[in-house]
Structures are given as structure tokens and as C-alpha cells.
Amino acid sequence: EVQLVESGGGLVQPGGSLRLSCAASGFTFSSYRMSWVRQAPGKGLEWVSSINSGGGSTWYADSVKGRFTISTDNAKNTLYLQMNSLKSEDTAVYYCQKYSVTYGYDWSRYTYWGQGTQVTVSS
């Protein structure tokens, strides 16, 4: 059974940093592309970043490029998101997700989601 447990969120001032973690279990973590997806209050799911199974390729939404860094620790089955220079518009619940070839980046088709971790950027 797939389990994704996000942590590391919190309240931070604009310009601050946070590091999110996603502990994965129930599948071969190192074999899958992983993504971070966020949902701001009153809005839909928004893709943030992805990393391929080997960790050699990463992709970022334009809104976070240059500020966020995605990484993995396959020995710990853990996905990370280092977030720097945070802005108020980064306020959202952040989720990690295991990539599905069937669903692709259509997040509405994914049926399993972890509990997410709340990130609030405010002075």
C-alpha cells in the first residue's frame, strides 16, 4: 500500500526558507518519478516540481524556478523540497505524489494523496 507522509511546513516570513520532506513507503521509491504539488486556499492543485527516478533530471514551475530545489534520498525513501526566498503566493498545502504514467500531470485523476503539509508565508 502506497503511503506518502509530508512534513516540514510551517509559518515563515517573506524571504525565509523551509525544507519539506516526504516519506514514502509501499513501492520501490527509487524507480519512480516524484513530484511536489500544492494547493493554495480556494484554488486547484498546482504542479511545483518533479524529479526523475535517477535524480538526474528535475523540472520546476516558472513560479518557483531559482528559488526551490527538489531532491531525493533513495536510502531513506524520502523526497525533499528546499524552498528559499519564500513569497506570500507560496502559501499553500504542499503534497508529494508518485508519478503515474497513466495519469501523467493530470492531478485530478490521482486518487491517493497524503495529508499534505501547510506552508504559510506571512509577516
Q: Residue 79: count other Cβ atoms within 10 Å of its Cβ.
A: 27
Burial (CB count <10 Å: 0-12, 13-18, 19+), residue 84: middle
Place of cell 504542499: 94
Does the pLDDT value for residue 46 go beyond 90?
A: yes
Query: If 0-12 CB within 10 Å is exposed, 13-18 middle and 19+ buried, where does residue 31 land?
Result: exposed
Q: Which helix (H) or strand (E) holds 121?
A: strand 117-121
Cα distance between residue 54 and residue 97, in whole Å: 16
Give per-residue pLDDT as tens, 81-99: 999 999 999 999 999 999 9
- Summarize the confidence of residues 28-39 as an average pLDDT: 96
Cα–Cα distance measured from residue 44 to residue 63, given in angstroms and rounded to the nearest whole number: 15
Length of the chain, in residues: 123
